[in-house]
Chains A and B, each alone.
Chain A
Amino acid sequence: MDGKPMNNTVQPESEASLIEDLKQGDSTAYQKAVREFSPGMLAVARFYLDHSSAEEIVQDCWVTVIDAVQKFEGRSGLKTWLHRIVANRCKNRLRTANREIATDFSETLEPELANRFNSKGRWDLPPKLQFHDSADRLMENGALSDCLDKHLSALPETQRSALMLYEAHQHKSDDVCNILDVSASNLRVLLHRARQKIFLMVETFQETGEC
């Protein structure tokens, strides 16, 4: 796996101390953990459920955590453990409602990108510009950041959740597959489709300055 950049998540030593505080029922520790982990938990829930049900599940999960954390032995990280609790709750709810997630894993290329190749499989419309700036430099551009937000919200939930867990929340592929209950090959399709959409968005933004 290529080295993914580290983000500012709770470090192992402080995670151990956070877990101990949660076990003690420290309300400040809960507030910290709620802010640190809820966005990821919501991303997991949104893979399965609509926005309002997803928020409800995340709230319920935090209440469950108060008792469940007493038995948490740290075999996985706290983040992975919390995400699994959310995923299991969502799967139970879907089972109760007898619903399944419908996702198309058959096409690996976005139609907009697929149309840029000729019949021989060569580029007809190759990428014109190179994204020169580093990710951090690009993110300093507020308009691009807003545009990224807009496009992320427009992604199908399945793609967005996979992307958020893998890229933003830095889960390993195995964990994402486990949490979202998708096969490794289907996860690859979800990630690739989502990245292509972001690639196309940045390209349009760099070429035209428009979102």
Chain B
Amino acid sequence: MLMCRDLAEIASDYIDGELNGPRSLSVKMHLMICKDCRTFIGNLRASSNLLSAHSSGKADEEFLRRIDERVAEALSVRKNKGSDSE
């Protein structure tokens, strides 16, 4: 029988739909009778959604500017090469 600790170990697999049929079913049956695990799964799912909602698009502007400079330099070299060969 699946215990709460077993469920906690595979909780992310359950949330992501990575468990096979029988294993997923045993989690569902456990959740029907265990309020604490229902709260745990709900909170872990909320944590996962929180991460998705949290902006990942932050990068240091100075770092981005350095990339812009390197790219501009490389584009200019490429353009000059192109015009030399014409």
Contacts and interface: CB of A to CB of B under 8 A. Distances in A.
A40 B47 contact: no
B3 interface: yes
Contacts, number: 158
B25 interface: no
B49 A134 contact: yes
Contacts of B6: 121
A195 B47 contact: yes
Interface residues of A, number: 63
A39 interface: yes
Interface string A11-44: 0000000000000010100110011101110110
Given A27-B71, A66-B74, A127-B36, A2 B79 contact: no
Interface stretch (A83-91, A96-104, A160-168): A160-168
Contact of B56 (A130, A168, A195): A168
Best-surrounded residue of B6, B53, B66 (most CB of chain A within 10 A): B53
Interface residues of B, number: 47
Interface of A: 1-2, 4-5, 7, 25, 27, 30-31, 34-36, 38-40, 42-43, 55, 58-59, 62-63, 66-67, 108-109, 113-114, 117, 120-123, 126-127, 129-131, 134-136, 138-139, 145, 148-149, 152, 163-164, 167-170, 173, 188, 191-192, 195-196, 198-199, 202-203
Interface of B: 3-6, 8-13, 15-18, 36-37, 39-40, 42-44, 46-59, 63-64, 66-68, 70-72, 74-75, 78-79
